[in-house]
Amino acid sequence: MSRFPGQPYFDYRGDQLYVEELPLADLAREYGTPLFVYSKASMLAALGAYQRGFGDRNAKIHYAMKANSSLAILQVFAQAGCGFDIVSGGELERALAAGAKGSDIVFSGVGKTRAEMKRALEVGIACFNVESEPELEVLSEVATSAGKEAAVSLRVNPNVDPKTHPYISTGLKGNKFGVAHDRVLHAYQRAAQLPGLRVVGIDCHIGSQITDVGPYLDTVDRMLDLVQAVETAGIPIHHIDFGGGLGISYHGEQPPQADALWAQLLAKIDARGFGSRTLMIEPGRSLVGNAGVCVSEVLYLKPGETKNFCIVDAAMNDLPRPAMYQAYHAILPVRTRDDMPHTYDVVGPVCESGDWIGHTRELAVNPGDYVAVMSAGAYCMSMASNYNTRGRAAEVLVDGTKAHLIRERETPAQQMLREKLVP
Ligand SMILES: *Cc1c(COP(=O)(O)O)cnc(C)c1O
């Protein structure tokens, strides 16, 4: 067993940190740093826990691809039978390029454009997860003028507190997401009247990095109450989509395992008589977060008056979560040393005080050593930017003893490709 609870596919052998059967240091030397490294076995194990959880139920898993939308990552999930939850026209094209069929895709998001709706109808997506009444009207117009019928679910706001960071809580009153609880019936009645729409389901998503079962149990109750109310009004609901949000272990959190969580939720769903419905979920972070690390080189050790800094070549443009949400990522030496550790703030080269990766970390490292920023598979590469004209990192997918370069490092020329000087 690995000593990292969430990341069993990453562990030390002797003084070397390995991913599956390969030393991370070898990958860093071959492909350069900063480098994202993913374990395919870890991704499939995470998906497998959900698939086991649902057994032979009538259920469909749509990977919320905004967590990590690199093509090869999507390809692994598509080949394992997973569908996709998208939030933009760009993600639609990525999912298709990775081998998904339109019918494997559901489309979430509060601000879908007419062009995005039209394209999604063209490729025959499974469902639009509509977030407001005005969006229903626009989708009806777009579908009618394209001569198509749009399958519609309403994203409802169950007003459940997921007890997570306010920036990643989405199912409370006052969030921009979903149809307010007391408008749901009205919105379904409108959807049922509008031409070009076919009501098929109901969905929600209450937040992210949820580590308790409680908020999910509350959500199940609220959702099933709503299904009953809508069906009593004569509008059948064929599928119930509970969204994503299950947390991972970054720093000692102990979220439920996906199969254990779903055993509890399914018991409740069965007890209320909804066990034979089509059930859907949209996990993101919990499928990829602990399948990836970011390997970075130590550039300088800089003693300060009150703090020592460990300056590495990865930065907030590669790893935005600490700057955005004060998030914690473990930082480990890729090769351990016997030297005395020192306390460092681990920071990147970007010209912002917000550019930190970890505060007060004990590390025994020298310049030229590599460190691994752990649990970096979700909401890192997909949020990476070119701030400070830094090229986005390369990515490698490891499968046992094999490493596949799945994204080349971005060059300055590629960053400037679409820019023009004035005459
Ligand atoms: C982001 C998102 C998800 C996935 O959330 P995770 O916390 O990564 O599991 C699922 N559904 C919707 C609508 C989302 O916006």
Assign 3-class secondary structure to 331-347: EEECECCCCCCEEEEEE
**Domain residue ranges of the chain, discontinuous segments joined by +:** 10-39+289-415, 108-283
Which protein residue has the closest C-alpha to ligand 1 atom 10? 244
DSSP 33-84: SSEEEEEHHHHHHHHHHHHHHHTTSSEEEEEEGGG---HHHHHHHHHTT-EE
Say how many Å lie between the CA of residue 207 and the centre of ligand 1.
7
Q: Using an 8 Å Cβ cutoff, are 131 and 177 in contact?
A: yes
Say how many Å lie between the CA of residue 328 and the centre of ligand 1.
19
Distances (CA, A) of 28 to 24, 224, 333: 6, 49, 13
Query: Can you read off the two tokens belonging to residue 62?
Result: 């749509």
Q: Which CATH architecture has domain 10-39+289-415?
A: Beta Barrel (2.40)
Tell me which of 127, 310, 351, 380 is the catalytic residue: 351
Say how many Å lie between the CA of residue 416 and the centre of ligand 1.
32
Q: Has 82 been annotated as catalytic? A: no
Q: Flag whether 155 is marked binding.
A: no
pLDDT confidence of residue 4: 73
pLDDT confidence of residue 242: 97
**Ligand 1, pocket-test mutation among 112, 205, 241, 250, most atoms within 8 A of CB:** 205
**Ligand 1, pocket-test mutation among 50, 107, 282, 381, most atoms within 8 A of CB:** 282
Q: Flag whether 390 is marked binding.
A: no
Q: What is the dihedral of CA 106, 112, 115, 119, to 10 degrees?
A: 0
Other CB atoms within 10 A of residue 274 CB: 18
Say how many Å lie between the CA of residue 205 and the centre of ligand 1.
7
Q: Flag whether 352 is marked binding.
A: yes
Q: What is the mean pLDDT of each run of 10 residues along the chain (423 residues)?
A: 78 97 98 98 98 96 98 98 98 98 98 98 98 97 98 92 66 76 95 98 95 95 96 97 97 96 97 96 98 98 94 98 95 97 97 92 98 98 97 98 98 98 97
Ligand 1 atom closest to the CA of 247, numbered from 1: 7
pLDDT confidence of residue 177: 81
Distances (CA, A) of 355 to 311, 317, 345, 346, 409: 10, 8, 11, 9, 21
Distances (CA, A) of 264 to 261, 273, 378: 5, 15, 26
Ligand 1 atom closest to the CA of 87, numbered from 1: 15
Say how many Å lie between the CA of residue 21 and the centre of ligand 1.
31
Report CA torsion sign: 408, 81, 400, 252: positive
Spatial distance between the Cα atoms of 290 and 239, rounded to a whole number of angstroms = 29
The phi, psi pair for 74, rounded to 5°, reads -65, -40
Q: Flag whether 328 is marked binding.
A: no
pLDDT confidence of residue 165: 63
Say how many Å lie between the CA of residue 421 and the centre of ligand 1.
40
Q: Which residues contact 188 (CB under 8 A, 6 or more apart)?
A: 154, 199, 230, 233, 235
Spatial distance between the Cα atoms of 379 and 108, rounded to a whole number of angstroms = 17
Distances (CA, A) of 114 to 106, 140, 251: 16, 10, 42
Ligand 1 atom closest to the CA of 170, numbered from 1: 15
**Ligand 1, pocket-test mutation among 208, 242, 253, most atoms within 8 A of CB:** 208
Q: Flag whether 285 is marked binding.
A: yes
Q: Flag whether 370 is marked binding.
A: no
pLDDT confidence of residue 267: 97
pLDDT confidence of residue 352: 87
Ligand 1 atom closest to the CA of 285, numbered from 1: 8
Spatial distance between the Cα atoms of 147 and 140, rounded to a whole number of angstroms = 10
Q: Using an 8 Å Cβ cutoff, are 139 and 120 in contact?
A: no
Q: Using an 8 Å Cβ cutoff, are 372 and 295 in contact?
A: yes
Ligand 1: residues with CB < 6 A are 64, 66-67, 85, 87, 108, 205, 208, 243-246, 282-286
**What topology is assigned to 108-283 in CATH?**
TIM Barrel (3.20.20)
Spatial distance between the Cα atoms of 60 and 84, rounded to a whole number of angstroms = 10
Q: Using an 8 Å Cβ cutoff, are 23 and 30 in contact?
A: no
